Structure 1
C-alpha cells in the first residue's frame, strides 16, 4: 500500500430539513389547527481513529465527504428523520488542520472520535408557532445549512523510537533486525522513501514501536532532499536514535548536522532523550573502532554505542538500551 501522509479534503455536514406548513383536515373538523412538523437535523461529519490504517492513501482518490440532509417535516406534526452522520476513518496520529495550517484536532488516542462539522438544525413547522393569540400561524422555517469546509489531514506517526540519520546510515537494516519490519534495503541514497514502522519485543508484553525515518540531509528543514515532509514523524517519537556510519570521515560533525536540522524544524526536539549509534562497524578495522570508541559527542547523559546490524554486533544490547530509556520516561 502506498504511504500518503498529507491530504486535502472537502467536508460538508447535512442541511436541516424544512419545517412543514399544514393544518388538520380531519372529517368533522373543517377548521383544524396547525399540524406542520419540524424538519430533521442534518448529519454530522465525524472523524474516527482506525487502528488498522497507517496511511492517508484513501483520500487521494476520494476528496469530498458529505453527510446526509435531514428530512422535511410532514403533516400531523410528523418530524422529519435526522440525516445520517458520515464517519471518516483516519490513522492514529492524524492532525486535522484548516487551510491556514491551524490545528483543529489531533487524533492521537486509540478509538478517538471528533465531530468536525455539525449538521444544521431542522426548521420548525407551523405547529410550533401556535399561541393563544395566533391559532392559525402560516409560518414554517427552512432548515439550517450544515457546516462545510476544506481541511488538511496530516499524519504524524506515533512511534516510541525514531531512527534518524543520513541516507545509507543503516536505518532500514537495523529496523529489520530489531523488529518484524521488512523495509526495502539497497546501497544507494534514499532507499527509504516512506517511513517504516516496526514492533520490537523484549519479552512477553514488553514491546515498543520503532520508526525508520527516511534519510535526512543538511538543509532538510529548509526543504532540501526529501525536505520536511518526513521530519514531522520525528516529533512524536519519545526516544531518538541517531545512526552515523563507522566509515564517515567526520562522525561528530555528522551528528551536529542532524541535531541542527531537527532543532531547526522544531526546537523542542533538543529536549528528547537520545542514543547515538555508530553503525556498520563490521566495515572498518580495529584501529578505526578504537578511534570511534574515543569520540566525544558533547552530550550529557547520552549513551553512545557501536553496532553492526549485518553482524548483529550489539544489536540486542541496543534494543535493551532503548527499552530501558523508554521505561524511565
Structure 2
C-alpha cells in the first residue's frame, strides 16, 4: 500500500496553525507528515517561516504520525547541530523521525554572511556533512578539516537506532550522487518522464530504501478558486533551477514572478476542484514506483482540503501498490 502524507509548509502557516493542521490530517486518515525547514518564505505574500525543529518536537508529541523534515546541513546548520537535533527527536519518538538532506538554497543560507557556494561545492559540502552526521549518530567523536570543520564533536544523547537519512534530489544527477549514502529518496513533482529519470538514476546507482515525492496541488470548491490560490501562493514555483537556489530574498522571487499568469502557475501546480482528477494524477505517481506521496495544498486554509481529500482521495490512493 502507498503511504500518503501531509506536507506542513512553514512558509505559509504560523506554527500553531500548522500544528493543528497536522493533527487534523491524522484524524482524516493521512499516514505520515513532513515539513519544510526555511528561515524565509518563498514570497512576501506567504509571510511565515517557523523554526522547523521546535515544531517537529511538538508535532511528534501531538500526533502518532511518522514525520520528517527536508533540511540543509553545512552552512546555516553546522552538521553537529543537525545530528544533535535528529538524535534527540529519534530518542524521544523512536522509529517516527526521518530527515532528508539537501545542498540548500541561498534564500535560507545567505544569512550567515558566508558566500553561497556554487553547486559543485555545495554537493561536496553536503557529502562531508552527511559523513559527519553519520559518524556522530554512531557515537563517534569527529574532527574534520574540509569544507565543513569539526573539532572533537560528539553527540551524547543518542537513540538506539539512528533515524533514516534520505537524499533530497530534484535532478537525476543529484539522485545518483546520493545513492551510496542515503536510506531513501525524496523529490518533488515534475513531468512524469523527469520523475522516472530521477527514480531510475537513484536505483541504477544502487539506491536503497523508499522513494517519496512531494506534490504541490491546489484544491477549492471551484476551479477558479483553486487557480487563484495557486497563483497567489505558489507562483514562486515558476522560478527554474538553478536560479531558484540562487535568489536570496522573498522579494527577489516576487519580482521574478510578478508577471506570471494563473495559467502558467497551473503548469507547475496540480490545480482542480475535482478530487477525482487529483486522484488520477496521483495514481500516476504510484505507477512510476513511488512508495510515499506527500500532498501539499498550497493554500493557507487547510481544513477543507484535509477533509475533502481524506474522504475522496486518500482511500483510493492508499490502496494502490507501487
TM (norm. structure 1) is 0.29
More strand by share: 1
Which structure's relative contact order is higher, taking Cα pairs within 8 Å and 6+ residues apart? 2
- Output the TM-score relative to the length of structure 2: 0.29
